[in-house]
Chain A
Amino acid sequence: MLTEFALYSDRLFMAAVGVYVLAMVLHGAEYAVQRSAKGVLVGAGGPAVETDAPPPDAPPRDGSGPGRAERYGRMGVSLVVLGAVLQAASIVLRGLAAQRWPLGNMYEFTSAICLAAVVAWLVVLRRSPASRPMGLFVLLPVVILLFLGGTVLYAPAAPVMPALQSYWLVVHVTTVSIASGLLMVPGVASLLFLLRRSGKLEGFAERLPSADALDRLAYRITIIAFPLYTFAIMAGAIWAEAAWGRFWGWDPKETVAFVAWVIYAAYLHARATAGWRSGPAAWVNVAGFAAVIFNLFFINMVVSGLHSYAGLG
Chain B
Amino acid sequence: MASTELATRPPESGDPRPTGGRLAIPRNAWRALTSMRTALILLFLLALAAMPGALLPQRSLNQQLVDQYFTDHPSIAPLLSRLGFFDVFAAPWFAAIYLLLMISLVGCVLPRTIEHAKTMRAAPVATPRNLGRLPHHGSATLDVGPEEAAERVRHRLRGWRKVETATGSGRTISAEKGYLREFGNLLFHLSLIGLLVGFGAGKLYGYGGQVIVLADGGQFCNTGILGYDSFQAGLRVDGTNLQPFCVRVNDFEASYLPDGQPESYHASIGYQTTDDLNAGRVDQWRPYPLEVNSPLRLDGSRVYLINHGYAPRFTVTFPDGQKRTGEIQWQPVDATTYLSQGATKFEPPGVTDEEKRRTSQLAITGLLAPTSSGGQVVTSVFPALRDPEVAVDVLRGDLGLDDGRGQSIFEVDQSKIDSGQLKQVARANLVPGQSITLDDGTIVTFDDVRQWVALQISHDPGQDTVLVFAVLMLIGLGLSLSIRRRRFWARLTPTADGTRTVVEIGGLARTDRAGYGEEFDRLRADLLDAPHTGAEVDGSGADGPNTAAKDG
Chain A interface residues (CB < 8 Å from chain B)? 51-55, 124, 127-128, 130-131, 158-159, 161-163, 165-166, 168, 209-210, 212-213, 216-217, 219-220, 223-224, 226-227, 230-231, 234, 237-239, 241-253, 255-256, 258-259, 262-263, 265-266, 268-276, 291, 299, 303-305
Contacts and interface: CB of A to CB of B under 8 A. Distances in A.
A192 to B, nearest CB: 14
B86 interface: no
Contacts of B1: 269, 272
Interface string B251-270: 00000010001111100000
A273 B40 contact: yes
Nearest 3 Cβ contacts at the A-B interface: A128-B549, A255-B54, A266-B43
Contact of B40 (A168, A226, A269): A269
SS of B interface (majority): mixed
B40 A216 contact: no
Interface stretch (B74-82, B321-329, B470-478): B470-478
A274 B512 CA distance: 12
Contact of A245 (B51, B60, B295): B295
Given A217-B549, A269-B1, A162 B263 contact: yes
SS of A interface (majority): helix
Contacts of A256: 51, 54
Interface stretch (B390-398, B421-429, B455-463, B499-507): B455-463
A265 B514 contact: no
A45 B270 CA distance: 80
B542 to A, nearest CB: 13
B293 A237 contact: no
B61 A249 contact: yes
A197 to B, nearest CB: 16
Contacts of B292: 162-163, 165, 243
A301 to B, nearest CB: 13
A248 B466 CA distance: 11
B46 A262 contact: yes
A303 B55 contact: yes
A127 B552 contact: yes
Given A227-B477, A239-B293, 16 more contacts: A127-B550, A127-B552, A219-B513, A220-B513, A226-B481, A230-B474, A234-B471, A243-B293, A247-B466, A247-B467, A250-B53, A255-B54, A259-B50, A269-B2, A269-B43, A272-B1
29 contacts: A52-B550, A159-B257, A162-B264, A166-B293, A216-B514, A217-B549, A219-B513, A223-B481, A234-B471, A237-B470, A243-B293, A244-B304, A245-B304, A247-B463, A247-B466, A259-B47, A259-B50, A259-B51, A263-B44, A269-B1, A269-B36, A269-B40, A270-B40, A271-B512, A273-B37, A273-B40, A276-B40, A303-B54, A305-B61
B84 to A, nearest CB: 14
A165 B264 CA distance: 9
